[in-house]
Amino acid sequence: MQMPAIAAHFLAVIALICAVAALHMIQLRRSGQVIFNGGILFALGLAIACALPVLSHLPWAEIAAEVSDQTTAAIQLLYAAYVILTL
C-alpha cells in the first residue's frame, strides 16, 4: 500500500509534533511540575485540528486491511515464540 506523498509528509509532521509533546511532558514530569497544563493540551488540540483535513483523504480501508494483516502476523509470531519457549 502506498500513501500519497503529501499525506505521508503530513503524517510525519504530526508524528514529530507528538514526539516533541511527549518529550516536553517527560521533562515536566521529571521537574515535578504539572503535566497536563493548558499549553500542552492546546498544542495537541491544534495539531489534531490541523490533521483532520489531511486524515479525511487517506485510504482508510487499505490502512485498516494492512493493520489487520500486521496484527495477525504479530499474534502468530508471538504464539510461535510462546510454543518454542514452553517446549
Q: Is the same domain home to 3 and 43?
A: yes
| 10/79: higher pLDDT | 79
Cα distances (angstroms) measured from residue 56 to each of 18, 60, 68, 73, 80: 19, 9, 20, 27, 37
Whether residue 32 is found in the same domain as residue 44: yes
Residues 46 and 34 in one domain: yes
Q: Assess whether 52 and 66 both reside in one domain.
A: no
Based on the domain organization, do 51 and 15 belong to the same domain? yes
Same domain for 36 and 8, yes or no, is: yes
Three-state SS for 12-31 is HHHHHHHHHHHHHHHHHHHC
Report DSSP state, residue 35: S
- Residue-range definition of the domain harbouring residue 39: 1-56
Read off the pLDDT of residues 13-55 as tens digits, 9 standing for 90 and up.
777 887 887 788 778 778 876 656 667 777 777 777 777 777 7
